Structure 1
Amino acid sequence: MPFKTYLLETRPQFLTLSLVLVILGTSMAFFYGVFHPLHTLLVLIGLLLVHIAVNTLNDYFDYKSGIDLKTQRTPFSGGSGILVAGELSAKKVFWFGTISFILAVPIGVYFIFAVGWFLLPIFVIGTLFVFFYNTYFAKIGFGMPEFSAGLGMGTLPVLGIHMILIQGFSSSALYATIPSGILVCNLLLLNEFPDVEADKIGNRKTLPIILGRDKAAVVYSILTLLVYVWILVGVLLRFMPPFTMISLLTLPFAFKAISSSFDYADTSKMIPAQGANVMVVLLTQFLLGVGYILARAI
């Protein structure tokens, strides 16, 4: 199959998240006086490979469970559509995702030996989320599908990047990574709204299924606002530098996403909500990174 098909299978538009996570983690390390270009590049490559594995294996398991055959696809949810269209076989997609993860392993091993064994728990938890999200975490409810995504593709990557670069742990840095977890949790949460009926087929227990979409929209709204409150409190408590308040510039996108999330039955309104949510997730973290750089440079 042509390269373009495999590229589309990775859902490249969503890989931007990995870049933003690396920017934030690197900026936090820069704030502490550390910048290591080679390690930053290796981290970016490793995280992109893991993200590709997550996207492709998610496609594989959704297809095998029948979810993708029933899902209402939007530009932001519903999978790549490659398997449903028959452009790649399920076997090829599975091995594409698995090999992508295997290629990331040597990078993780290098950092464990070069930086420290304290990174091992982060890598182990990340591995569990990659391979058991669809088969386990997405099916146990209690907010676990969303929480595991936020932890595995938000908080832990940023914290791990920071720890790799400064070669240690900082409680202030841990505090600063919580917004990333909440934002990525919300990224998945809002994208689950159009997939409720399809996700039921795959026995998933997402918040929109467990709570209903009205209550899930309330949860989404609270979590979105919590991000900004968390940042403000972090600045007041001196866990985060004042310049990180530049991230509050994304509030208009947040209000748009919140107000539109209650119109989940109207696809024409839900898609703009998803788009605004993506802007909140990416821009808020990017601006947090800018804030850390400014705090160090000025």
Structure 2
Amino acid sequence: MLKQLCGVARVNFLSLTLVCIALAAAASWQAGHPLSPGLLTLITAIGLCAHISVNALNEYFDFKSGLDFLTNRTPFSGGSGTLIQHPAAANLALLLAVVSLLLVIAGGLYLSYQLSWQPLFIGIPGVLLIYGYTRHINRWPLLCLLAPGIGFGIFMTLGSYWVLAGSISAGAWLLAFIITLLVSNLLLLNQFPDVDADRQVGRRHLPIVIGRRHSASVYTLLLLLSYLLLLTGVSSGILPWQCLLALLTLGLVAKLLPGLFHNADKPQQLQPYLGMNVLLCHLYPLLLLAGLLWAGPA
């Protein structure tokens, strides 16, 4: 049972939640706000529950719709395949999703009672996003593109900063927007191998609507915009210059983009670049975090 729970929770992908919350904590500390270990632990638990819930719901609904039986699975896309191997665990996946979501709601209400009700402006839409992502949002191309990034960038990263610092700074907004762009790109590229299968179950994400090659151009635009935001933040003094450490990821980008465009219409050849994209989505914010720690409290 534990192996099945870990499969539908996709525990190997939960590291992204830890990176986002760690970045928010570092930004709050660098802005001069003392960190509460207990509060940070609770925020991390809520974030992990949110990520587990959306993963488990995705696994459940993709199994029930038949999509899991159509997908050519890769280590980075197409789901875990757990319910294909263990179909009797479908109800367990749904239970995990519901319990995790209830824990998110309970944790959010507790924080609003203890601290402030205002972060509910982020928390409530976040809960709706968790519930609606697989069943509804995947049918709206632009919303499907931005929803994952908004979930991790605005709801998780900015929301965590808000709770930790008690307010939102311009720097926190910039970091949240950068994460939004990176995670939107993460899911965008992971949709490339699934185009044919997703089309059969009625999904309408960007690679289906405009094709993989044009979607690769969108990927490039969002990625360049993330670096533009970084440079703007540093040049304006909103972010410390040490955050320029994140520019070290440009070496990875220089390998990723040519391979992406060359293999955009060859899904079977894309796996190395999907891996590079996952690495980029972790390394970029970790280097931002390192820059904030290097800069020290303002």
TM-score normalised to structure 1 length: 0.95
Matched, 1:162 2:161: yes
Paired with 1:240 and 1:271, the residues of 2 have a C-alpha distance of 34
Q: CA deviation at 1:203?
A: 1.2
CA contact (8 A) 1:220 1:258 kept: no
**C-alpha separation between the residues in 2 aligned to 1:67 and 1:225?**
33
Structure 2 counterpart of 1:8: 7
2:84 counterpart SS class: coil
Find the counterpart in structure 2 of residue 66 from structure 1. Answer: 66
Q: Provide the C-alpha distance between the structure 2 equivalents of 1:96 and 1:177, rounded to a whole number of angstroms.
A: 28
2:53 match = 53
Contact 2:112–2:120, Cα closer than 8 Å, also in 1 = yes
Q: Is 2:174–2:230's contact at 8 Å kept on the other side of the alignment?
A: no
1:241 matched to 2:243? The reply is: no
Distance 2:44 2:165 in 1: 16
1:1-298 aligned at under 5 Å gives the runs: 2-34=1-33, 35-86=35-86, 88-141=88-141, 143-262=142-261, 263-267=263-267, 269-296=269-296
Between 1:101-110 and 1:215-224, the stretch displaced more is: 101-110
* Aligned 8 A contact 1:82 1:88 in 2: no
In structure 2, stretches of 5+ residues that fail to align are none
Task: Tell whether the 8 Å contact from 1:176 to 1:234 is kept in structure 2 after alignment.
Answer: no
CA distance in 1, matches of 2:211, 2:265: 12
Is the 8 Å Cα contact of residues 260 and 270 (structure 2) preserved in structure 1?
yes
**What stretches of structure 1 of length at least 5 have no aligned partner?**
none
**Per-residue deviation at 1:259?**
1.7
Q: How many Å apart are 1:87 and its aligned residue?
A: 5.1
1:193 aligned partner, one-letter code: F
CA distance in 2, matches of 1:243, 1:226: 19
In 2: Cα distance, 1:42 partner to 1:157 partner: 13
1:93 CA drift (Å): 1.0
Q: 1:65 to 1:268 in 2, by over 3 A?
A: closer
Confirm or deny: 8 A CA contact 1:63 1:84 kept in the other structure: yes
Corresponding residue SS for 1:186:
helix
Using the alignment, how far apart are the partners of 2:283 and 2:70 within structure 1? 32
Secondary structure at 2:82 match in 1 = coil
Deviations 1:71-129, CA, capped at 9 Å, x for gaps: 11000000010111225432221111111111222211111112211101111111111
Give CA-to-partner distance per residue, 1:220-262, whole Å, 9 cap, x none: 1111122112101111111211111101111122222222222
**Paired residue type of 1:30:** W
Look up the equivalent residue of 1:249 and give its one-letter code.
L
- Tell whether the 8 Å contact from 2:10 to 2:55 is kept in structure 1 after alignment: yes
* 1:118-163 Cα distance to aligned partner (Å, 9 max, x none): 101111111111001112111122x111211110122321101111
Distance 1:41 1:14 in 2: 19
Amino acid at match of 1:258: L
Report the residue type matching 1:112 in the other structure: S
Deviates more, 1:260-269 or 1:17-26: 260-269
Partner Cα distance (1:82, 1:162) in 2: 34
Is the contact made by 1:66 and 1:201 (CA closer than 8 Å) also made in structure 2? no
Could you say if the C-alpha distance between residues 212 and 37 of structure 1 is closer, same or farther in structure 2, counting changes exceeding 3 Å?
Answer: same
Assess if the C-alpha contact under 8 Å between 1:146 and 1:206 holds in 2. Answer: yes
Q: Distance in 1 between matches of 2:223 and 2:143?
A: 18
Of residues 80-89 and 33-42 in structure 1, the stretch that sits farther from structure 2 once superposed is: 80-89
Task: Indicate if the aligned counterparts of 2:9 and 2:55 stay in contact, CA closer than 8 A.
Answer: yes
CA distance in 1 between counterparts of 2:9 and 2:84 reads 15
- Mapped contact 2:4–2:89 kept (Cα < 8 A): no
For the aligned residues, what is the CA RMSD?
Answer: 1.5
Whole-angstrom distance in 1 between the partners of 2:174 and 2:166: 17
* 264-273 or 29-38, which deviates more: 264-273
